[in-house]
Homo-oligomer: A and B are copies of this chain.
Amino acid sequence: MALIVQKYGGTSVANTERIRNVAARVARYHQAGDRVVVVVSAMSGVTDNLIKLAREIMPLPSEREMDMLLATGEQTTIALAAMALHALDIHAVSLTGAQAGIVTDGVHTKAKIQNISPKRIHELLNAGQVVIVAGFQGQTPEGQITTLGRGGSDLTAIALAAAIKADLCQIYTDVDGVYTADPRIVPDARKLDEISYDEMLELASLGAKVMQSRSVEFAKKFGVVFEVRSSLNDNPGTIVKEETRSMEDVVIRGVSVDKNQAKVTLVAVPDKPGVAARIFKSLGDATINVDMIVQNISHGAGTPATDLSFTVDKPELLKARKVIDALQAEVGFREVIADEQIAKLSIVGVGMKSHSGVAGKMFDVLAREGVNIGMISTSEIKISVVIKLAQAESAMRAIHAVFLGAATHCDPPHPRGSPDSKGRPRFRGRRGPRRRH
């Protein structure tokens, strides 16, 4: 008898058959006595098609009108999803973002949720309805239609879960959950039963494409526990929540590799105040996203000078070089070296906070594999190194084997109590609804 928010992405509602599958899943929860709010995205392909139409008319359409246009995608899905539930004799009603009480600021195409008035949702739930809400969209206090930008439907689901104080928030996607590493690279990769918000955030920023950071940040801020799971099967997914003591028993949670970065090194930068600020402000003004930054002591003799390295997304390398080249006379560095043949390898885990020697162990593994480390960057729960692109995958497998391999991993067998008879982990001490198989 839980209050559940379920979010289904574009591939889960790609056609009417899949929408019917979603309805069947929702119906099982509803019939088990749960009250369900469903958040859906646009059917996959629909948004792209609308963007294509807009581009046929003008290359850079008004953001207000883009929101007006794109909001139709989710509105189409909610109506079809409600019908699919009706076809199963379930009472269901669809709501646009505006109707669901989702109020945003006026920054079109990337609006921020300001507040949610869940009165109507509660009324409908109390009347025994499944409530289907259009993801990704809201309305300003003045009645303008807005959209929330990339990952917006996840955000809708998590914000709704916070607003209605849901017991469960399930993010359905086309993968089974969050893995210790990309299974396409590391065959031994395992699905995680749980992960902390911070670990999930680090993974999101490291190229694990499961969810956008902003949704995880929102969940962390409002303490919304959510589960990432597959809409294609009934396997339990990965629970994302505040870190617990048991999580710290696990030293690292996952390994990720980002092959989409390039490294830029400015050689012999004069070592005086304001230089780094000048460089990174110029890059920021050109909207170039800088990831890692490392400054080393220069090996050169003479006036005090350092080497300054940073990484950018590969597609932005040319633009970054232009910005840097334009600064050479003013800043006075000797030369610029750009390297696209790199990868960023990271390990993430809240456990490393309380386990010393993790970095040393990581570097040791890399040394044994003959991998040279170009840059190092650490946070409390993450260590990233820049290495040669060609060595990235084998290095990743070696790191995974040592830290997370089946023989050596130190994940306690059932960190949140024994799984139930279907192998599904308990969630907040409450059993999920019974599944039909």
Interface residues of A (CB under 8 A from B): 16, 19-20, 50, 53-54, 56-58, 61-62, 64-66, 68-69, 71-72, 75-76, 78-80, 82-84, 86-87, 93-94, 96, 99, 143, 145
Q: Which of A57, A78, A86, A99 is most buried by chain B, counting CB atoms within 10 A of its CB?
A: A57
A16-B56, A61-B86, A68-B94 known, 9 other contacts, Cβ within 8 Å: A58-B83, A58-B84, A62-B82, A62-B86, A66-B79, A68-B75, A68-B82, A75-B75, A96-B145
23 chain-A/chain-B pairs, Cβ below 8 angstroms: A16-B53, A16-B57, A19-B57, A20-B57, A54-B83, A57-B80, A57-B87, A58-B86, A61-B83, A61-B86, A62-B82, A65-B79, A65-B86, A65-B94, A66-B79, A68-B75, A68-B78, A68-B82, A69-B76, A69-B79, A71-B75, A72-B76, A99-B143
In the complex the two chains form, is A53's CB within 8 Å of B75's CB? no
Least CB distance, A401 to chain B, in whole angstroms: 48
In the complex the two chains form, is A54's CB within 8 Å of B68's CB? no
Q: Given the complex, which residues of B lie within 8 Å of A80, measured CB to CB?
A: 53-54, 57, 65, 69
Q: Given the complex, which residues of B lie within 8 Å of A143, measured CB to CB?
A: 99
Q: Which residue of B lies closest to A144 (CB)?
A: B99
A290–B154 Cα distance when bound, in Å, is 54
In the complex the two chains form, is A50's CB within 8 Å of B76's CB? yes
A170–B99 Cα distance when bound, in Å, is 33
Least CB distance, A333 to chain B, in whole angstroms: 44
Least CB distance, A54 to chain B, in whole angstroms: 6
Least CB distance, A123 to chain B, in whole angstroms: 11
Least CB distance, A299 to chain B, in whole angstroms: 56
A57–B76 Cα distance when bound, in Å, is 13
Q: Given the complex, which residues of B lie within 8 Å of A72, measured CB to CB?
A: 72, 75-76, 79
In the complex the two chains form, is B99's CB within 8 Å of A87's CB? no
Q: Given the complex, which residues of B lie within 8 Å of A54, measured CB to CB?
A: 79-80, 83
A94–B143 Cα distance when bound, in Å, is 12
Q: Which of A61, A69, A82, A96 is most buried by chain B, counting CB atoms within 10 A of its CB?
A: A69
A167–B319 Cα distance when bound, in Å, is 54
Q: Which of A62, A75, A78, A86 is most buried by chain B, counting CB atoms within 10 A of its CB?
A: A62
A62–B71 Cα distance when bound, in Å, is 21
Q: Given the complex, which residues of B lie within 8 Å of A50, measured CB to CB?
A: 76
In the complex the two chains form, is B83's CB within 8 Å of A65's CB? yes
A53–B19 Cα distance when bound, in Å, is 11
Q: Which 7 A-B pairs have the closest CB atoms?
A: A69-B79, A72-B72, A68-B79, A16-B56, A58-B87, A61-B83, A65-B79
Q: Given the complex, which residues of B lie within 8 Å of A66, measured CB to CB?
A: 79
Q: Given the complex, which residues of B lie within 8 Å of A75, measured CB to CB?
A: 68-69, 71-72, 75
A84–B96 Cα distance when bound, in Å, is 26
Q: Given the complex, which residues of B lie within 8 Å of A71, measured CB to CB?
A: 75
Least CB distance, A326 to chain B, in whole angstroms: 33
